[in-house]
Amino acid sequence: MELHLELAIDRQYCDKSRPSSFPEHAVVLIDSITWSYRMFFRRLAQPLRTLNSIATFVTRPSLYTYPASHHLRTMASAMGKRLEGKTVVVTGASSGIGKSTAIEFARTSPKNLKLIVTARRLEVLEQLKEEIKKEVGDGVQVLPVRLDVSNPEEVRNFVGNLPEEFKDINVLVNNAGLVKGVAKAPSIAEEDINIMFNTNVTGLINMTQAILPIFLARGEAGAGDVINVGSIAGREPYPGGSIYCATKAAVRSFTDSLRKELIATRVRVIEIDPGQVETEFSVVRFYGDKKAADKVYEGCEPLTPEDIAEVVVFAAGRRENVVLADTLIFPNHQAAATVMHKKT
């Protein structure tokens, strides 16, 4: 309902010409009455305008008239649609962040998605396949592939050995990585140095080079996502982690360079750097000593693999022109690689 009370008063008493023969005192009286009417109707109209605004607000769909859950569902639905029909590769998918990432992709786009999950432990990947099928049904096709990314020959043969329907890859999540030991120079084992560099750096680069031609051949300017899981260690080196920190710094440099090299394409290059996350990571670092690994997380609440997986899938689920180029994720108690608040 539109209100024109004030306008009507103005037209009736102000816009209408007065006869020129009116005496001066009559003109003053009429002006006084006009002003009084205007003030009266202005005050009358104000609450009616407020009521009109409230009625418009209530009847018009807006951001505020829906519950938060509605918008979360809408956002999730948009992500799911963007991911529909895509083929996603996740390395290091047998546990931790890789496993959670595969599950999160399946949950986000359960109707039409292909997942290639890779790791050295094939039997664990088969269990993951069944887990995903049980949760989301047959809309997600899961292909477990035994792959050691530190072995260049296995990586070179990876795409060629895939079934034809899985070769059109859209997203590569380079997650496979590890850390061995806390030794300091000159006591770092050569074997540990080699396995960390071969897996974290050479393996990631080789996987990217194996998949990138598929991305560049798509459309006029190419399309696809390279998502590299880095670490806070690549930004802030710390004692007892020199080799691991060096490998993650290398990943960061490679990622930044690759993004610049592919700037004329539609290939998105994304890095996600977690802070402290509780996975098998620390168990591997301490050569299977679970007790030593658990001490790392005492007195604090680290991130979970699911926390990182949600960010990975979110990055892949943005519209094509949006690139989450560089993301650093901390738990609430962490401010830097070695700055953490722990309860005693």
- The whole-angstrom separation of Cα 326 and Cα 273 is 8
The answer to whether 129 is a known catalytic residue is no
Q: What is the 3-state secondary structure (H, E, C) of 184-209?
A: CCCCCCHHHHHHHHHHHHHHHHHHHH
Q: Which of 301, 298, 293 is nearest to 333 (CA)?
A: 301
Q: What is the largest CA-CA distance in the chain?
A: 112
Which entry of 244, 260, 287, 295 is annotated as an active-site residue?
244
Indicate the pairing of strand 224-229 with strand 87-90.
unpaired
- The whole-angstrom separation of Cα 71 and Cα 77 is 10
The answer to whether 248 is a known catalytic residue is yes
Residue 218 CB contacts under 8 Å (≥ 6 apart), including other chains: 224
Report DSSP state, residue 121. -
Q: How many CA atoms lie within 13 A of 157 on its CB side?
A: 8
Q: Which of 50, 120, 57, 112 is nearest to 86 (CA)?
A: 112
Report DSSP state, residue 268. E
CA dist list (Å): 116 to 68, 86, 99, 163, 315: 33, 11, 11, 11, 18
Which entry of 248, 291, 295, 297 is annotated as an active-site residue?
248
Catalytic residues: 244, 248
